[in-house]
Structure 1
Amino acid sequence: MNEQLADWIAKDKAYCWHPFTAQDTWTASEHEPLMLVSGDGVWLEDAHGKRYIDGNSSIWTNIHGHAHPQLNAAISAQLAKVAHTSFLGYSHPLAAELSARLAEFFPNSSLSRTFFSDDGSTAIECALKMALQYRMQTGQPERCEFVAFINCYHGDTMGAASLGGVEAFFSRFRKFGMTVRFVRDLDELRALEGLDRVAGVVIEPLVQGVNQIHVWPQGMLSELREFTQEQGIHLILDEVMTGFGRTGTMFACQQEQVVPDFLCLAKGLTAGYLPMAATMVREEIYDGFSGERENAFYYGHSYTANPLGCAAALASLDLFTSDQVLELLPAKINHLQQALQQLADSHPEVWQTRQCGMIAGIELRQADGSPYPQALRIGEKVCLAAREFGLLTRPVLDTIVFLPPLSITSEEIDLSFAAIAQGITAVLSDGRKNNTIE
């Protein structure tokens, strides 16, 4: 290890606090954190000069690859003008352009208004507060509850955390947040009593990410839209992960011709280059905040509609057209499907694979189909082993998540799955031979 790298690691361990991380393990003397220093396309490079495929799009954000010249140029051009201006009491051209571009994705501009914030969690936070305030200002104050789905994940700010269905993440905070009821599926939602108290239902459309890439049944989303309309309940779609081509269409809801009342976007909004989020709403909801000043939506962020973020987002939307991103996806999705099947056929430890567009989960289980003991942390060990073969990704429990930039090639998908296969072999097949896995 060179002196510069040793200094970086020492400072990280002494001063940084990493998310979702057991810090005692991280700061242990024998642990050398992976220090990433550059990127090009789907590849990242560490401080030792080793290259890796970014198999989870830098936590599900990157769309077109790293250091894309068009994105870099758009950000640089805006940086030469101004890096940030307040959106409170002022505006700027790129925010106006981006809002209009986003509205064009939906028929008759049905999601006509966009409220900008900072990340996926705050996009959800905005939707929840808007939904509640709308009810208060339209004579429906009794509608103050929400419904979410078991094992869902919608962010970590207090309101968003209230919706979280993963007990390990959210149980200790639940009493401090919104009033939320949880259901497994549409049948349980239909059976709930007191639906007249529900302001909105929140769901990740088509696929739940943190729930080990759980794919919803086909048609479920359109049925949910019909039911919420019948009940006068707002439908809030969390497309923080699924938006911007991840499922094969620009937005997941378009696959079932669903237009929600609130659409929450982040991650891929700026192609993963800058933190920025958007909460899109129908005009009728926006109209509920008109009139007296006290009806205004008193919520905001210092970096709302940041010009650099808007520049990146507009350049990303341009790339979807110029690079024919959506048109090229069916062949990549098919190739990913074949790679998943080949992996399952050749490795009995692969209990199930799940796919939604360019989002995939590979669940590992024991030979009898039972899960591995959680203390073994098999998924984590396989991902660490795959790193040695040139792939970066993370598991959800023992499900290996593969969610690469959409710019990935078929050859790079094959390299990724070769690394996953070698990781499975190193941890499970070789581990059993060496009596390190029971």
Structure 2
Amino acid sequence: MAVIRSVLWKNLNCYHVYGANTNVGKTIVSTAICRSLRRKFPDSKIWYLKPVSTGPLVEADDRHVGNFVTGIQADCLYQFNEPVSPHIAAKDSIDNAPLDSELLESIYSKLSQYADDAPGWALVETAGGVHSPGPSGTSQADLFRPLRLPTILVGDSNLGGISSSISAFESLHVRGYDTSLVLLFANDKYKNHEYLVEYFSKKNVTALSIPAPPEWRPDGGDRQRMAEYYNKLSESAAMEQALSVLKTKHDSRIDNLASMASRASNVIWYPFSQHTSVSASTITTIDSAYGDHFQTLTTPPENSQGPLLNSTFDGSASWWTQGLGHGNPELSLAASYAAGRFGHVMFAGAVHEPALTLAESLLANMRNSRLSRVFYSDNGSTGIEVAVKMALRASAVRNGWDTSVKDLEVIGLKGSYHGDTIGAMDCSEPSVYNKKVTWHSGRGYWFEYPTVQMANGTWTVEIPEALQPELGSSSQYASVNEIFNLSGRQSEPLAHRYRTYIKNVITKLVKDDKRKFGALILEPVVLGAGGMILVDPLFQKLLVDVVRESRDIFEPGRSHAPTNTDWTGLPVIFDEVFTGLYRLGRFSSASFIGAEPDISVHAKLLTGGLIPLCATLASESIFESFLSPEKSDALLHGHSYTAHAVGCTVAEASINSMLTMERNQVWDDFKAQWQDSTGPEIWSMWSRPFVEKLSHDPAVTGVIGLGSVLGITLKDSAGSGYTSSISQDLQSRLVQGKGREWNIHSRSLGNVIYLMSSLTSTKQNIREIEEFVGRAIR
């Protein structure tokens, strides 16, 4: 797999040279730096690398550097003869233009060779300006971002150069580059250097001016004059300071990374962590992230000069938030735009375009005729609390209950997880997540249910032993598509047994036990934190249907007939925080079970993992439960950052990207291997042969693959559940990487280990990860 690590070696001071514009003197500055390095560090090796060069070979930049600096190695990876932009030169060349991944691989490979022969310094010079296109047409600022080399920016000393220099800096900055130094020529006419030195000092970036090179003259003495210029410049105080800044930046970056884990272990309280097992040695230091990967600090073998950063596949999608990859420039720019336009503005009694546009987009794309209102909060757990407040109030108002009653409960599924705030925890049964939280009281009834997984090559609906007397034994199906063919399965005897079982339970709870319920709350299709459990979609479908049909049980005093979009029985809440927005391959996971909730909650992929934001969508009948002349009857819930303009703007960009990917059939190759004629389109980015092969492994109880989610249940003779430690050995093997240039960071849920791709993961990368996991699991 072509996984490119960020560039960092202890013994190789390596910098990317970007220009604020074309013809600002990048090559002259690079030559001057190399000449100064040769003078100051005579025993160090010095390399100059031009990844892409256009124009006649005799005028190539690497030749210029080699001609004026002795004892260095100057290389060019791709030379195109036409003196035009690389994307044009490459297109017109008889040689095929390199793909972006090939160009990055070539650069990293060359720098690795330099590092093997270091100590020394390396400069990598771009072509043209910051946004000049590479051979494929990709802007260089985006093309080279995976390398995340620290940057030397050559400012523009010409008329208009102040603007272009600042714009170039900001373009790099918003993409996560670290600009270590700004150099530009002194120009007494425009005096850009005076302004920019002061400007960048306020950004804590060193900016230095250096003398401009001699003008070309037709007397043929240019080479001699340039040699004298470089010789004098290499001895200047400005270049001495420049080298000192670069050396200090390099060393301090390494020292900071090396100390971060130790410092963190002393001051940070980690989530979901028992700190008796947390130490500096167990903490992963992340320098940056791009695409599907973290760039993590690694310790090279003793006496090795290996890279200090390793590419680590983000196997948990950063707690399920990543859909469009880390460092996504579209999302970064959207966030920057909204921050510049709004910052944050209060939302009570006001509206701004990002919030309105996002609300309209969500309602339109959910394709749920019930939903008509959007309430914003800041994360999934608080979004669930909003949803529960909505549902319980609606039930209380309709049934004429005192809204201050404390005995209202919810109906849900065992093993559900809806968040860690107090109210959200009360929607789940006592578990390892909440049973030791003093205020938790678990207000509800939670059904046992049949589950789905592939075991020994066969998709099976497994009936828990406790339910087998009522529901019968487990059933096998030809494919996962057949299991999701709910219209066809409605005629199965199992469907009747499901209905009868659900009806009997709720009748007993309400009629016999006199319990009072205000909502049905479900994680559609997959229970995430409960263990990546794929619930039989037919059971969830019928649970919703039976609850809605049971007006005589839940709403005995109701007289008027419901409308098509009115809630009946109980308000139905779908917690799509994890499963929604294409995580399982569809915009809304509600579509898998053919049921439209009255309230749905969306977060995580909503903003592509960039900004915390949650949207709770509700029906008009739910909304109307809060209408009253009394202010106290309103939904008195809010956050200072409600409808955060930056988050809403990023969310709209994220949704548009995902919708565009679906329209452009980006996932068709993944879908093709899962399709058959037995049901609806159910697919996974994890390949069908891989899932089937895993299901046969003697260490595996069962596997699910749906959308970007892969869940592997491991056999544990000591028992299953969140407290199981059976997955730790596999996690360790994945993170060790078996000597590869990349590894896998994963999270486990007891005896379940799961991996998630992003929606932008390539087929090649997924297959390579599959091969790695297949070997590690043995």
Contact kept, 8 Å, 2:413 with 2:446, in 1: the verdict is yes
2:649 to 302, 311, 316: 311
Say which SS state the counterpart of residue 309 (structure 2) adopts.
coil
**Residue equivalent to 1:140:** 400
Q: CA deviation at 1:194?
A: 3.8
**Residue equivalent to 1:183:** 447
Say which SS state the counterpart of residue 173 (structure 1) adopts.
coil
Contact kept, 8 Å, 2:531 with 2:722, in 1: the verdict is no
1:287 aligns with 2:624: yes
Would the alpha carbon gap of residues 33 and 110 (structure 1) be closer, same or farther in structure 2, given more than 3 Å must change? same
Would the alpha carbon gap of residues 399 and 294 (structure 1) be closer, same or farther in structure 2, given more than 3 Å must change? same
1:408 aligns with 2:757: no
Q: What do residues 36-68 of structure 1 show as CA deviations (whole Å, max 9, x unaligned)? A: 121221122113310012121111111111111
Q: What do residues 136-190 of structure 1 show as CA deviations (whole Å, max 9, x unaligned)? A: 3334327821112111111111111112236111223376446212221363564
Which segments of 5 or more consecutive residues in structure 2 lack a partner in the other structure?
A: 1-9, 11-253, 298-307, 450-497, 551-568, 671-683, 738-742
155-164 or 5-14, larger mean C-alpha shift? 5-14
34-43 or 127-136, larger mean C-alpha shift? 127-136
Q: CA deviation at 1:222?
A: 2.3
**Residue equivalent to 2:597:** 260
1:154 aligns with 2:418: yes
1:212 aligns with 2:531: yes
In the aligned structure 2, how far is the partner of 1:108 from the partner of 1:340?
A: 32
In the aligned structure 1, how far is the partner of 2:774 from the partner of 2:383?
A: 37
> Which aligned pairs between 1:3-402 and structure 2 lie closer than 5 A?
3-27=255-279, 31-47=281-297, 48-107=308-367, 109-141=369-401, 144-165=408-429, 167-173=431-437, 176-177=440-441, 179-185=443-449, 187-188=501-502, 190-192=504-506, 193-195=508-510, 197-231=516-550, 232-292=569-629, 293-324=631-662, 327-329=665-667, 331-332=669-670, 333=684, 335-345=686-696, 347-365=697-715, 371=719, 377-389=725-737, 390-402=743-755
Would the alpha carbon gap of residues 309 and 177 (structure 1) be closer, same or farther in structure 2, given more than 3 Å must change? farther
Contact kept, 8 Å, 2:584 with 2:709, in 1: the verdict is yes
Say which SS state the counterpart of residue 727 (structure 2) adopts.
helix
In the aligned structure 1, how far is the partner of 2:520 from the partner of 2:668?
A: 31
Say which SS state the counterpart of residue 99 (structure 1) adopts.
helix
Among the aligned pairs, what percent are the same residue?
A: 25
In the aligned structure 2, how far is the partner of 1:376 from the partner of 1:229?
A: 38
Would the alpha carbon gap of residues 183 and 207 (structure 1) be closer, same or farther in structure 2, given more than 3 Å must change? same
Higher relative contact order (CA 8 A, sep 6+): 1
Which segments of 5 or more consecutive residues in structure 1 lack a partner in the other structure?
A: 426-438
Structure 1-normalised TM-score? 0.89
In the aligned structure 2, how far is the partner of 1:19 from the partner of 1:421?
A: 30
321-330 or 285-294, larger mean C-alpha shift? 321-330
Structure with the greater alpha carbon radius of gyration: 2
Would the alpha carbon gap of residues 296 and 53 (structure 1) be closer, same or farther in structure 2, given more than 3 Å must change? same
Say which SS state the counterpart of residue 312 (structure 1) adopts.
helix
In the aligned structure 2, how far is the partner of 1:154 from the partner of 1:60?
A: 14
Would the alpha carbon gap of residues 241 and 334 (structure 1) be closer, same or farther in structure 2, given more than 3 Å must change? closer
Contact kept, 8 Å, 2:321 with 2:605, in 1: the verdict is yes
Would the alpha carbon gap of residues 261 and 178 (structure 1) be closer, same or farther in structure 2, given more than 3 Å must change? farther
Paired AA for residue 733 in structure 2 = A
Say which SS state the counterpart of residue 100 (structure 1) adopts.
helix
Contact kept, 8 Å, 1:205 with 1:237, in 2: the verdict is yes
Contact kept, 8 Å, 2:724 with 2:750, in 1: the verdict is no
Would the alpha carbon gap of residues 266 and 307 (structure 1) be closer, same or farther in structure 2, given more than 3 Å must change? same
Would the alpha carbon gap of residues 421 and 372 (structure 1) be closer, same or farther in structure 2, given more than 3 Å must change? farther
Paired AA for residue 700 in structure 2 = V
14-23 or 131-140, larger mean C-alpha shift? 131-140
Contact kept, 8 Å, 1:354 with 1:362, in 2: the verdict is yes
In the aligned structure 1, how far is the partner of 2:723 from the partner of 2:521?
A: 32
Contact kept, 8 Å, 1:250 with 1:326, in 2: the verdict is no
**Residue equivalent to 1:428:** none
In the aligned structure 2, how far is the partner of 1:38 from the partner of 1:174?
A: 38
Say which SS state the counterpart of residue 389 (structure 2) adopts.
helix
In the aligned structure 2, how far is the partner of 1:303 from the partner of 1:149?
A: 32
**Residue equivalent to 1:433:** none
Would the alpha carbon gap of residues 409 and 325 (structure 1) be closer, same or farther in structure 2, given more than 3 Å must change? farther
Say which SS state the counterpart of residue 121 (structure 1) adopts.
helix
Q: CA deviation at 1:119?
A: 1.0
Contact kept, 8 Å, 2:394 with 2:571, in 1: the verdict is no
In the aligned structure 2, how far is the partner of 1:38 from the partner of 1:205?
A: 33
Contact kept, 8 Å, 2:429 with 2:444, in 1: the verdict is no
Q: CA deviation at 1:237?
A: 0.6
Contact kept, 8 Å, 1:60 with 1:404, in 2: the verdict is no
Q: CA deviation at 1:252?
A: 0.8
Say which SS state the counterpart of residue 332 (structure 2) adopts.
helix
Q: CA deviation at 1:33?
A: 1.2
Q: What do residues 388-433 of structure 1 show as CA deviations (whole Å, max 9, x unaligned)? A: 22111111112110122111112111222233234323xxxxxxxx
Contact kept, 8 Å, 1:84 with 1:307, in 2: the verdict is yes
2:770 to 417, 434, 438: 417
In the aligned structure 1, how far is the partner of 2:654 from the partner of 2:387?
A: 24
Q: CA deviation at 1:310?
A: 0.4
Say which SS state the counterpart of residue 167 (structure 1) adopts.
coil
Paired AA for residue 68 in structure 1 = N
Q: CA deviation at 1:372?
A: 7.7
Say which SS state the counterpart of residue 138 (structure 1) adopts.
helix
Q: CA deviation at 1:114?
A: 0.8
In the aligned structure 2, how far is the partner of 1:128 from the partner of 1:374?
A: 26
In the aligned structure 1, how far is the partner of 2:286 from the partner of 2:640?
A: 29
Contact kept, 8 Å, 1:43 with 1:66, in 2: the verdict is yes
Say which SS state the counterpart of residue 615 (structure 2) adopts.
strand
Q: CA deviation at 1:382?
A: 1.1
Say which SS state the counterpart of residue 330 (structure 2) adopts.
helix
Contact kept, 8 Å, 1:153 with 1:210, in 2: the verdict is yes
Q: CA deviation at 1:338?
A: 2.3
Q: CA deviation at 1:213?
A: 1.5
Would the alpha carbon gap of residues 189 and 175 (structure 1) be closer, same or farther in structure 2, given more than 3 Å must change? farther
Contact kept, 8 Å, 1:387 with 1:419, in 2: the verdict is no
Q: What do residues 221-279 of structure 1 show as CA deviations (whole Å, max 9, x unaligned)? A: 32122112112111111111100101121111112331101101111111111111111
Alignment root-mean-square deviation, CA: 2.4
Would the alpha carbon gap of residues 326 and 42 (structure 1) be closer, same or farther in structure 2, given more than 3 Å must change? farther
Q: CA deviation at 1:107?
A: 4.0
Contact kept, 8 Å, 1:111 with 1:281, in 2: the verdict is yes
Say which SS state the counterpart of residue 262 (structure 2) adopts.
helix
In the aligned structure 1, how far is the partner of 2:710 from the partner of 2:657?
A: 24
